[in-house]
Structure 1
């Protein structure tokens, strides 16, 4: 069964990184209200990870989903990082992710892509989420320092450990599928070239968006289609800059990105189009895309996302983006369907 066939209620999911106190300290009641709003709006696909706030997002999501029937929603989480009981005294700092979750729990987080680490990670996630099973499992962030020795060791550990375990769990029917959960294209390309494993899909964050899609378009999406591996698009708002925020790639947006966003906004305003609508609908226009999972930490943002996905966008808007080179000439657009 493909990811698209598994989804209960359409391609719009909910990425729960913000529930791990990404960028700010979110009160528990606000986090719960956001998940509640997602459910009431019809969201039935939830993606999370141990890394998000050192288990905080999983705990918060699980608390809300405990009110639901398990068969009524699709749930994915990630492996590759283990949350320890050990509590650190200094600030949480995560390499290329910086202090992204400095307001999360203070539990120590370590990398572990081994077979035993994968099983341990899944057990921890099930406990924090309070569920008896997962639908999809992504191997998380196997992309840091991509060309360095440390990355090569991580990928080799995942190839011989996590990938083999997840293949077996999928074949046994314990999970519906697995893949990578990364924000770089290259690891997915390499995984798709491996003959000994059979991924079901991949969560690709921030690499197939209005602002950044050329590389994935040319190198990954055709290969994914050829292999029958569907893409879950994470980070469709590019860390927030496409949704009224100031972040791009988890940091302050550079001037050239701000300038590009302003150009898209001006075009969108002339056609009465929400930039959120353009961002979501662009991600899903590619036939390799199965779902899109924007994050949110406020209930009102959920309604905006659902309205944005369903809004009508004039074909001339997309044509103008192409003409102005704001999207690639080769990128499939909603008008091409």
Structure 2
């Protein structure tokens, strides 16, 4: 079953990475209230991962959704990292993602893309999420933290392990589907080129946003369309810099990126539209996009996101964005659908 056909209430989902205490220590009450706000605003697709706060995000999603009927929402999580009972001292370093979740739980996180590791990860996630099934499973961050040819080794481990385990679970109808959940397009391209792989969805974070979409446009999106694989867009605000934050690609945004954001925001202000509206509607305008899952850690942010998707954006806004090369001339835009 495809991601698109599984969605229960439109393409707007909830990205739960912030609930793992990404960037800051979020009070439990605030985290749970954020999930409740998403539900009240009609959001019915929730995406999380063991990596987010060493299980903290899954625990919070599980607690918040425990009072909801399981058939009334779609749930996805990820495999590739196992959360151990062992507690470590000090922050854990995760390559390009650095100490992103230094405020999360202190449990040790290890990589495991094997078949047994995949099944173990799913079993642990079911317990943390307090559910009897998960709809979609994404293989998390292949190639993220491995440099040179090292990521190919990780990819091969997943190909002979996680790929096979998830394809079998899909065939047995234990899950609705699977794919990769990554910040790079290369492993998705490799996967889509495999004859034996049967993914029906991919989650790509940060690679199809107002600030970064050229490579995805030229390579990822056409390949996904050709294979009829749905794309879930994560990180539409590029780690928060498009939504008033200071991070891009999980790090402090460089001056040149802040300048680009300022230019986009100035145009948005001139047309009296929220920058969130431009970011979300841009992400969903591509025909390969099945859903967009902005992250949030405060209830008020949910209402902003929902409202942003309903904002009527003037065609002249998009024409100016194209004219100023702030979006690629190849990018499908909302005005192209009219």
Query: Which TM bucket (shorter chain)?
Result: over 0.9
Q: SS of the residue aligned with 1:83?
A: strand
Q: Secondary structure at the match of 1:179?
A: strand
Per-residue displacement from partner, 1:93-146 (whole Å, max 9, x unpaired)? 211111100000000000000000000000000000000000000000002256
**1:158 shift after superposition:** 0.2
The alignment partner of 2:75 has SS state of strand
What per-residue deviation string (whole Å, max 9, x for no partner) do you get for residues 193-226 of structure 1? 0111110110000000000000000011001000
Q: 1:131-184: per-residue Cα shift (whole Å, max 9, x none)?
A: 000000000000225652321111001000001110110111000000000000
Which residue of structure 1 aligns with residue 87 of structure 2? 87
The answer to whether residue 225 in structure 2 is matched with residue 211 in structure 1 is no
In the alignment, which residue of structure 1 is the partner of 2:334? 334
Quote the residue 1:104 is aligned against: 104
Cα distance change of structure 1 residues 100 and 147 upon mapping to structure 2, 3 Å threshold: closer
- Structure 1: state its 5+ residue gaps: none
| Separation in 2, partners of 1:268, 1:106 | 41
Contact 2:239 2:247 in 1 (8 A): yes
Secondary structure in 1 aligned to 2:50? coil
- Which stretch of structure 1 is more off in the superposition, 144-153 or 100-109? 144-153
- The residue matched to 1:51 in structure 2 has which SS? coil
Structure 2 match to 1:255:
255
Structure 1 runs (4+) greater than 6 angstroms displaced:
none
Aligned to 1:131: 131
1:225-259 Cα offsets, whole Å, 9 max, x none, are 00000100000000001001110000111111111
- TM-score, with structure 2 as normaliser: 0.99
Is the contact between residue 138 and residue 203 of structure 2 (CA under 8 Å) also seen in structure 1?
A: yes
Alignment partner, residue 77 of structure 1: 77
SS of equivalent residue, structure 1 residue 167? helix
- Is residue 2:295 matched to residue 1:288? no
In 2, Cα distance between the equivalents of 1:30 and 1:75? 21
Distance, in Å, in 1 between the alignment partners of 2:90 and 2:293 is 32
Query: What SS is found at the alignment partner of 1:181?
Result: strand
Q: How many residue pairs align between the two structures?
A: 337
Partner of 1:20: 20
When the two structures are superposed, what TM-score results if normalisation uses the length of structure 1? Answer: 0.99
Give per-residue Cα distances to partners, 1:259-299, cap 9 Å, x unaligned. Answer: 11111111111111110000000000000000000000000
In structure 2, what is the Cα distance between the partners aligned to 1:93 and 1:227? 36
Q: 1:96 to 1:18 in 2, by over 3 A?
A: same
Taking the aligned partners of 2:73 and 2:148, their CA distance within structure 1 comes to: 39
The within-5 A match list for 1:150-189 is 150-189=150-189
Gaps of 5+ in 2: none
| Alignment root-mean-square deviation, CA | 0.8
Residues 236, 292 of structure 2: 8 Å contact kept: yes
Report SS of the residue matched to 2:232.
strand
- Residue 121 of structure 1 corresponds to 121
Bigger Cα displacement from structure 2, 94-103 vs 107-116: 94-103
Give the match for residue 325 of structure 2.
325
**Residues in 1 aligned to 2:226 and 2:311: alpha-carbon distance in whole angstroms:** 31
Equivalent residues of 2:88, 2:108 under 8 A apart: yes
